[in-house]
Every structure is written in C-alpha cells, then in structure tokens.
Amino acid sequence: MTMTGKALGGTGRWLDDRLHAAHGTRYLLRKIFPDHWSFLLGEIALYSFIILLLTGTFLTLWFQPSMTQIVYHGSYLPLRGVKMSEAYASTLKISFDVRGGLLMRQIHHWAADLFMAAIMAHMIRVFFTGAYRKPREMNWLIGIVLFTLGMFEGLFGYSLPDDLLSGAGLRITEGILQSFPIVGTYLAFFLFGGQFPGHVIIPRLYILHVLVIPGLILALITAHLFLMFHQKHTQMPGKGRTDTNVVGAPMYPYFMAKTGAFFLFVFAALALAGTFAQINPVWIYGPYNPVAMSAGSQPDFYMGMLEGALRVMPNWQTVIWGHTISWNVFLPALVPLGIIFTGAAFWPFIEQWVTGDRREHHVNDRPRNAPTRTAIGIAAITFYGVLWAEGANDILADHLDISLYSITWAARISMFVGPVIAYIVTKRICLGLQRKDQHLLEHGVETGIIRQLPSGEFIEETRPVDEEALAVLQSRPVHPELPPGESAESGVPAPGMRGALGKVRSRLYKVITESAPMEDGHGNGHGNGHAAIGDGHGNGHANGGQQPATVSAGDGSGDAAETEGSQPDPDADEPGH
C-alpha cells in the first residue's frame, strides 16, 4: 500500500470511529446514476450557480453598494471628473484596476445568463419527458420557485452597478410597482425608501442579491438535489430499464469523475465567454441619470418575456372613483408569466386527476408518446417565445427593416394564435411519429433490398429492429382506465365521475390520453415495469376493470376513428357527451 493510501485509510478509520460513516456511505459509493445527454442540463444550472457563488464572492471584496455621489478619479479617462455613485465607481474599479476583475465580472454575468438558460432547458426536458410525475412533483415545484428566484436574483444583480441601463431597469421596476391597485404606491415608496431613485435602493438590492436570495436558492437547490438523490434519478426507456430498477454507472468513481469533468467544461465555457464575449460594458453606458436614456435598451434575456408583455399591451387604463387602474402595466407584469408558472405548477396534479394515474414513474416518456402534453408544452413555449421576441421589437424592427408597429401588432395576434397552431401541429407530428414507430414495430426496418419472388412479385426485405431499439419503441405509456362515467352500461357512474366535474374529467381524459392506435394491443412487451406497479388506490380502477364495456377502450378507438379513419367504435354512439 502506498503512503497516500495509508494516510487516506487512516483518515477513513479516524472518521468512521466517530461517525459510523462506512455503514451508510458504502451504499452511496455504488449509487447508480442513469446516463443521458439531457440529464446534463440540470447539472449546467447547478455548476453555473457554483461559479456564480465563486465569482460573486470575489466581486463583493471590492464592490461598494452605495449611492453616495462622488467625483470619479480612477483609471478610465473618459469618465474622469464625472459625478457618479460609489457603486458605479467601484464597478469601474473592479473592471479597470483590479486584475482579473473584469474577467470575474464578465464570467459572473455570463454565468447568470447560463444559469437561467439551463434552468429553462432543464425544465423543458423534465416536462416533455414526464419526469415531473409521481413521485417527483415536489421537485418540479421547487424548480419553478428556483426559476422565479433566479429572475429576481438576476434583475437585482444587474441593477447593482448603477449604470444608465440598470437605472432604467429600476425605473421600470418602480413604475410597475406603482401600477398595482391599492398597495402599489406604498410598495414603491417602501422599496425605494421614498421617491425614485432615492438613496437606499442599491444597498437594499445588494443584501437581497448577495445574501437573502442566494441563501434561498442554495437551500432549495440542496432540497432539489436531496430529493433527486433519495428518489433516484429517472431513466430514459431502453432495454432492461423498468419502473422498478435503475440502470447506469455507479457514482464512485464513474459519475463523480464524469460530473467533475462536466463542471470543468461549464467553467471553461464561461471563462471563454468572459474572455472573448463582452457583456454589460457599464463604462460605455455611463453612470445613472434620470434625464438620459439610450435607444435599443434591452434587459437580460430572461426578463425579455416580461419586457415583451409590457410592450405588447394596449394602453388600457380606467379611472374609478378617482382611482387609476393601470391595466396596461400590472396585467402584463403579472398575467403572462403567471399563466405559465401557475399552469406548470398545477399541470402534474391536473394530469394525475384526469388520468387517475397514481403510480410511480421512473422511466421517462418519449415526448411523442404523450402527444397532448408535448403539444401543450410547445404551445406554452410559443406563447413565451412570441412575447420574448416582442421584448426586442425595436431591435427586430431595426435589423429586419420592418415597421415597429407591425411587429407589435403581429405579436398581439400571434400570442393568441401561435400557441393554438403550435398545439395542433405538435400533436399531429407526435401522432405521426407514433405511427412511424408502430410501423417499425410491425414491419421492421426497411433494408432497401428488393427481391423478386418466384411468382414474379417484388417485395422489399425488412429486418426486425434490434433489442435496444425495440425496448425504446415499445415504451408507450399505458394509461389506467378511467372509472365508468354516466354513460357506463350499468348506468351507475363511479364516485369520482359524477356530475359536471366527472364529465369534464372524462372529456379531458380523451384529450390527454390521445395516442395513435397500437394494433396488437396495449401491454405488448411492457410486462415487468408498468404491470408490476399496481397502486393500492384503485377502487375506481378495479371497478373499471370489472365492467364489460370500459369507457377508456371506447375512447381509445374513438380517437382512432377520428385520426385514422378506421372502423367506427361500437361505443361511439354516446349522445350523452
């Protein structure tokens, strides 16, 4: 045994004598982590956050969160003799007089953008693969809160240098706060310590930015990771992967080494960006001044959707009993993002209620195998995307040489029409892909070899798909059957299916479970996974199973009639619906 080996062994024994650690950690060393490129998206967010903590701590060593006005005498000649706040002057000092300061500032800013972009991408991945399903709903909710906190953290962070651009951002923040009915003016006065801009907003945002919000984010990330660890990561469908196992490489040494390397790559990418891609050159913008403003002002990209919502809104305002209701400001500030976040937060529970699916899911769905979910996701992204692009309507108008007002009108229309089209198109594409899969399963892979039979007939040879691909193709979800509704043959609807709510549920069930038909029946090749995890809840389901004519079977082929034009279903004549 080498010297280091002995030393580490000694340390290990020393610790174990005191912690009983070997007992529990052996299991952790062998903990299995499934592998897929899309699982790295969340890691990018995590590592960006670590880099934010490192670079941010560096910046606090010189930054002065103070609005006291001073005259600049530092290295940057064009601003010498100009009056500015200490916050802005210390940002110049970090950029010009602290070695590595500009690098750390730029890495910090890029890391914030990457943090938010990675959260979005990760969230999109989790949604489209159904990884938010039971038992991971809590982690989904934590993720949404983290996204929201990230937006505030970013906004407060880029407001700190007190430059002309960030000051405009604060002015807009104040204007939005003022617009809220009843409490708005008070909120604005309390946050800014009086009228805008006042003398306290920078120190207040500073403590929120460096302590309060990062503390919350850190705590929630810890909870997020703990839950992920405890519940074990989901896996993509594949050979031998079921809802009762987890297939992959052990944490030690494989996952640790790979994820360590990945941290290095994320850091390297950010270092490259911080070196070669200039971001937020505050010395060009100049110190904040309430009288000046430059054209083409843009917030960071993750605020672009809110910016677009403000720009797209008509100028509606009403005065009731001497009070002004600023629909034109507080509606766009709250509603569009509110729809997306609230919708995302409720979606797992809506889906569970409609489908009655209370099983644990550990194998992810392929997006095509949940056509309605995927279509809703793309519709939401379209809605977000239209407003996000509208947030840069002046830049678009300038670069594309289109009228600014045409772009705004296009956004006003497409924010409603776009998601509908996106929904329909996505659903069609998913169903088409499902049919392609079904074709592959039934007929195999086309080899391109044409053979002539003795009878003179030409046929194309196919070969069956290999086992790995077969497992993926067969990973279609099997939805539990809905308990009988009012149209049940017995005439007695199950408890959860009565009344208007029951009708809504059975209708939504049809939409949410819509899939291309599987001709050789469900459950083919699903044996172990789905069938094994029966849940104990099933009073309704058990009933459904016993009924001779189940609603769900009827629904399934009813949709088939709609999409495929195959034979009409015997249950399709339900006038009750």
Taking CB under 8 A as the criterion, which residues in 357-386 touch other proteins? 360, 362
Task: Using the minimum distance from each CB to other proteins, give the nearer residue, 9 or 343.
Answer: 9
Q: Is 305 helix (H, G, I), strand (E, B) or coil?
A: helix
172 touches other proteins (CB under 8 A): yes
Q: Which of residues 530-569 bind other proteins (CB under 8 A)?
A: 533
* Least distance from other proteins to the Cβ atom of residue 199, Å: 9
81 touches other proteins (CB under 8 A): no
Task: Using the minimum distance from each CB to other proteins, give the nearer residue, 49 or 509.
Answer: 49
* Least distance from other proteins to the Cβ atom of residue 131, Å: 15
226 touches other proteins (CB under 8 A): no
Cβ burial, residue 501 (10 Å; 0-12/13-18/19+): exposed
Candidates 248, 304, 348, 484; binder of other proteins (CB under 8 A) is 248
Residue 177 exposure: Cα atoms within 13 Å on the Cβ side: 17
Candidates 124, 138, 212, 247; binder of other proteins (CB under 8 A) is 247
140 touches other proteins (CB under 8 A): no
Helix (H) or strand (E) holding 176: helix 164-179
Helix (H) or strand (E) holding 3: helix 3-19
Candidates 28, 60, 68, 240; binder of other proteins (CB under 8 A) is 240
Q: Which of residues 82-121 bind other proteins (CB under 8 A)?
A: 83, 95-103, 106-107
Candidates 219, 261, 421, 449; binder of other proteins (CB under 8 A) is 261
What secondary structure does DSSP assign to 90-135, as a single string?
HHHHHHHTSTTHHHHHHHHHHHHHHHHHHHHHHHHHHHHTTTTSTT
Structure tokens at 441: 């399963």
- Does residue 560 contact residue 519 with C-beta atoms inside 8 Å? no
Residue 561 exposure: Cα atoms within 13 Å on the Cβ side: 14
What's the sign of the alpha-carbon dihedral 347, 350, 354, 357? positive
* Least distance from other proteins to the Cβ atom of residue 13, Å: 4
Q: Write the CA distances from 383 to 308, 390, 422, integer angstroms.
A: 11, 11, 9
Nearest to 541 by CA among 481, 464, 451: 481
Give the β-pairing of 323-325 and 318-320.
Answer: antiparallel
The CA-CA-CA angle for residues 186, 188, 192, to 5°, reads 120
Window 11-40: contact mask with other proteins (x via CB under 8 A): xxxx-xx----xx-xx---xxx--------
* Least distance from other proteins to the Cβ atom of residue 491, Å: 35
Whose tokens are 């100049």? That residue is 286
Task: Using the minimum distance from each CB to other proteins, give the nearer residue, 225 or 424.
Answer: 225
Task: Give every CB contact of residue 415 below 8 A, 6+ residues apart in sequence.
Answer: 312, 383, 386, 387, 390
Whose tokens are 């300038």? That residue is 398
Q: Which stretch binds other proteins (CB under 8 A): 142-150, 195-203, 215-223, 457-465?
A: 195-203
69 touches other proteins (CB under 8 A): yes
* Least distance from other proteins to the Cβ atom of residue 351, Å: 19
Structure tokens at 514: 């819509």
What secondary structure does DSSP assign to 270-319, as a single string?
HHHHHHHS----HHHH-B--TT---TT----GGGHHHHHHHHHS----EE
Q: Which of residues 310-339 bind other proteins (CB under 8 A)?
A: 310-311, 313-317, 319-326, 328-329, 332
Q: Measure the CA–CA gap between 332 and 305, rounded to whole angstroms.
A: 10
- Does residue 169 contact residue 158 with C-beta atoms inside 8 Å? yes
Candidates 58, 196, 285, 302; binder of other proteins (CB under 8 A) is 196
289 touches other proteins (CB under 8 A): yes
Q: Which of residues 466-495 bind other proteins (CB under 8 A)?
A: none
Q: Is the peptide bond before 332 cis (omega within 30 degrees of 0)?
A: no
Candidates 38, 231, 462, 563; binder of other proteins (CB under 8 A) is 231
Task: Using the minimum distance from each CB to other proteins, give the nearer residue, 175 or 525.
Answer: 175
Q: Which stretch binds other proteins (CB under 8 A): 241-249, 413-421, 447-455, 483-491?
A: 241-249
The CA-CA-CA angle for residues 494, 495, 500, to 5°, reads 95
Q: Which stretch binds other proteins (CB under 8 A): 6-14, 375-383, 428-436, 444-452?
A: 6-14
Q: Which of residues 47-66 bind other proteins (CB under 8 A)?
A: none
* Least distance from other proteins to the Cβ atom of residue 107, Å: 8
Task: Using the minimum distance from each CB to other proteins, give the nearer residue, 15 or 542.
Answer: 15
Task: Using the minimum distance from each CB to other proteins, give the nearer residue, 246 or 508.
Answer: 246
- 43 CB neighbour count, 10 Å cutoff: 16
- Helix 551-564 vs helix 499-512: crossing angle, to nearest 10: 50
Q: Which of residues 387-426 bind other proteins (CB under 8 A)?
A: 393-394, 404-405, 408
Candidates 60, 148, 185, 566; binder of other proteins (CB under 8 A) is 185
* Least distance from other proteins to the Cβ atom of residue 348, Å: 16
245 touches other proteins (CB under 8 A): yes
Structure tokens at 77: 């000649």
Q: What number of chain residues touch other proteins (CB under 8 A)? A: 129
